Structure 1
């Protein structure tokens, strides 16, 4: 359950969804039973992959939303380190796609607005072309439809108004997964890396 679904809202805090909890630390850690508990998580607003050091006896499970911003009250998180996709545990890797889908569902308008607000990046490349399966013809259909009839209101509205655009939510989710898995993606549209 994401923070927005649960109704908890501190507008200034940054939240992440827990992908996996390792109560005895990383598997390769020689201090296995003395190691601090950690969790892997995905940032709700920026899709950053994080390793969280948890407080002892933290009551945290997969799918929980936790505060990760340094300026907010982090009652279960001691420290936060950004990690890459390859650093995740097998369980965390298996959970990422589901959590990405949940985040998109919880804030659909934010992702529909990507289709509404996308602009050219260069003379030859448009932000819409970064999405899997969207070439020049489909991009032009999206742009023409939003110009002719105004902004899209939902993924369903997008699919109904733009012939050839099937499952616009899945297209966004696939792009987010591409950005998470490949550090060499030139244009990071959804995943924000600090630093």
Structure 2
């Protein structure tokens, strides 16, 4: 009998608040006293959209980083479900890019490692070309620079290549959350860090 290695499931420990709905969703027909405070959030490591149910006496700020991992949580009672981009409130959609950018900054070391090591997706397309604003010329400049000396930070990339990859990566992740893509950069990145 063949044994299969099971992939260890990764769970989020932190999420960023995209919107806070003190009395739940406006279209909820239940009386106010039966509703729970809800936040729409973005997972810091797995880049997933989620609905968080808060503890009754707690409030959160938009953009706040909250603990959602195992063990005692200060503000979040539980994660009720995963969300699709279309289910986000207008406020959450507006805040999404900013919290993605913050999550990317917190994971800078792993993203820089990815930039230093990523390769082609097909014979005609490189992973770097999935980033908004990165064409063939910039892609080759990044490859030449990383071969001369690996990048150390987003600031280092910007100095040597004159491109803001922090914003480009954040925009790409937002695009991937908005609509289906032929190729996914953040899926590659998540696989890369395992």
TMscore range, shorter length: 0.7 to 0.9
Aligned CA RMSD, in angstroms, stands at 2.1
Among 170, 184, 187, the residue aligned to 2:183: 187
Q: CA contact under 8 A between 1:40 and 1:51: conserved in structure 2?
A: yes
Per-residue CA shift, 1:47-106, capped at 9, x if unaligned? 11111122222242222222334x443342223311011111122112112212222333
Is residue 175 of structure 1 aligned with residue 172 of structure 2?
yes
Q: Which has the higher contact order (CA 8 A, sep 6+)?
A: 1
User: Quick one: distance in 2 between partners of 1:85 and 1:46?
Assistant: 15
Deviation at 1:41, TM superposition (A): 0.5
Count of residue correspondences = 176
Deviation at 1:13, TM superposition (A): 5.6
TM-score when normalising by structure 2: 0.80
| 1:81 counterpart SS class | strand
**Unaligned regions of 5+ residues in structure 1, if any?**
1-11
TM-score when normalising by structure 1: 0.80
Q: 1:48 to 1:13 in 2, by over 3 A?
A: closer
> Which residue in 2 is equivalent to 1:74?
73
User: Quick one: distance in 1 between partners of 2:94 and 2:175?
Assistant: 15
User: Quick one: distance in 2 between partners of 1:18 and 1:58?
Assistant: 13
> Which residue in 2 is equivalent to 1:4?
none
User: Quick one: distance in 1 between partners of 2:12 and 2:159?
Assistant: 36
Q: CA contact under 8 A between 1:67 and 1:77: conserved in structure 2?
A: no
